[in-house]
Each structure stands twice: as C-alpha cells, then as structure tokens.
Amino acid sequence: MGRPLRREYAGACYHVINRGRSRQIIFARRDSARTFIETLGETARRFHWRVHAYVVMLNHFHLAVETPEANLGAGMHWLQVTWARRWQELGRATSRPFQDRYKALLVEPSRSLADVANFIHLNPARARVVPAHRLANYPWSSLPRFIAKARPTWLAPEVILRETGPWMDSPAGWTQYQRHLIKLTSDDASRHSLSAARLSRKPVIGSAAFIEAMRRNPPELAKSLVLPATEKTWQQQLTRLAKLADINLRALPAAKTAPPKALLAAAMKATTATPNAWLARVLHAGQPATVSQIARRARLNPALAATLKVLLQRAGLHPPLPTGG
C-alpha cells in the first residue's frame, strides 16, 4: 500500500517534525544547527512560508509552518535536500541525514497553532537542555529571534501573542510570554494540554469541528468551519486601517503594486496573521507572492515606511517593523 497523500491547500498550517536517520545526532555542532536555520529562512522566503515557531535539537527539529500556497511538500523537499548537501559539505557525513519521511500534522490556525508553537519553544526545557527561565538563551529556537529587535520577516509572531495572551509585539509582551512558558512547565493541566501525545502524534490538531472536517478530507470543508470568523476579523482590521490611511478600498488603483496596496499589505502583515492569498484577493494584488513583495517594498521604501509607522501608531499598534529578509 502506498503512502497516504499529504493534504495541502493554501493557508494550511502544520506541525512538521523530522529526526536523524536511526535517531543519529545530526545537529551536534553549532555550524550544523546554524546552517539548518539559515536554510529554513531561505526556504520560507522562496516558498512564501510563515514560520510561527521552530526549534533544532540534537537529533531532530520541529517547525510550526503556515503555507499561504499549497507547497509544503515542495518546500520541505528543498529544505531537507539543500541542508543535507550543505551538511555533507561541512564534512559531517556522506549518507543522508534524515529518516525516511518527515511528519506533517495539520493544525487548526487558532489557539491550537499557538499551543504547537509553545510546545516547540518548550522543547529545550522538556529535554533538560536548559531550564525554563533560560529558554530565550537557547540559540537554536525561534524564541530569541522573536525577542530580538531585528527579526526575519518570515517569522510570524501574531498568532502566538494573540492566542496565548493577548499581548503586544513589544519587549513587555515577550516578557509576559516568557513568564507564561515558565508557568506552563510547572502547571499539571498545562503540561497535559501541551503533551507530545496531543501535539506531535495525532494527524490533525485542533477543535472537534476541524478534526471532523479534515477526516472528511476536502480542505474546503475545514476552511469553511474555521475561517469565516477569522475573515470577518481580517476584513474589520483592513477596513479600519484603510480608513485611518484615507484609502478607499472600493477605488484602489488598478496596478497590483500600487503604493496604497503596498501600505495596506504591510500594515496587515505587521499586525495580523492574514494569509497572502486572502490579501491578494481583497486588494486585487494578483498572486499571493505579490503581497509579500509589495509589503516588503513598503517597509524598505523610506516614504512608505514612515507612512506605515504613522498608520500603526494611529491604530494603536506598535509592533517593531522587520528589517531583514
């Protein structure tokens, strides 16, 4: 019997796990882990992924990944093959490093996704590599990069902060988040809710409605159950930002890369977990990849970046704008 096909659709979220072949240690050296994270960043930019959390341990890795386009398989193939080649170039080995197949668990894009991210960030403490109060000092996790002032644009903090807090994307917000992680390690109920059995072994992670929809398989069924309320929130936020920026959503310029569209795309991506596919549709910006491109241009263009900063301040939102790729 062949392997079951992975369920891929635009906007899907996954908890991705893979281990070293025969559980061998593959990330013992700093350059191995660093190169993997660099390759993950390249993968995210190339395939337009949003990474909600990651951690690299001695013999395995965890990722919480959102795919605005249905391309998890293509992206994971590029990530693992590219890193394996670089790993071999570092003189680590000549055989393939990973076990036969990575595990990809579908995750409901809600509190369940935040739970997976928390589980991932807690991995070094669960493995007793570092104590819980020093999780931000573990270098091969997304947690210290979320806290840092300069953050790669492919890292997505919104769901973690909104669903776990809600907290702002600020030093104070991340301090609260770290305190929350410490609390999770000492609370029996929290430890049970973040157990490996719940978050790394079941094929679908989420509410009963989401799990049932995915059991019936057509992704549209699952999306129809979990997205309407979320889309309403996105639309409300977009309408509010457009009003503050004095932009008429019903009279947007025809050009897909027009500055008003770039400004709104950057503002939405800085403050929400809105997928590129939805923004591309409502802003008439063409393909989902175009949204990332025009949002990045808005952040890098001095005039638009200044306008964006003022817009977020008017909205009462003060997330630090990403400066890197």
Give the percent of the chain with pLDDT over 90: 47
**Nearest C-alpha neighbor of 76 from the set 102, 53, 48:** 102
Tell which CATH classification among 3.30.70.1290, 3.40.50.300, 3.40.50.720, 3.40.50.410 matches the domain 12-215: 3.30.70.1290
> How large is the average pLDDT for residues 62-67?
96
Q: What is the pLDDT of residue 143?
A: 97
Q: What is the pLDDT of residue 317?
A: 54
pLDDT above 50 for 254: yes
Is pTM beyond 0.75? Reply is no
> How large is the average pLDDT for residues 247-261?
93
Residues whose CB falls within 8 Å of the CB of residue 148, separated by 6 or more in sequence, listed in order: none
Compute the distance between CA of residue 87 and CA of residue 27 in angstroms, rounded to an integer: 9
pLDDT band of 229, cuts 50, 70, 90: very low
Compute the distance between CA of residue 81 and CA of residue 53 in angstroms, rounded to an integer: 21
Compute the distance between CA of residue 122 and CA of residue 141 in angstroms, rounded to an integer: 10
The per-residue pLDDT for range 128-154, each reduced to its tens digit, is 999 999 999 999 999 999 999 889 989
**Nearest C-alpha neighbor of 133 from the set 193, 188, 181:** 181
Q: Within 10 A of 312 (CB to CB), how many other CB atoms are there?
A: 19
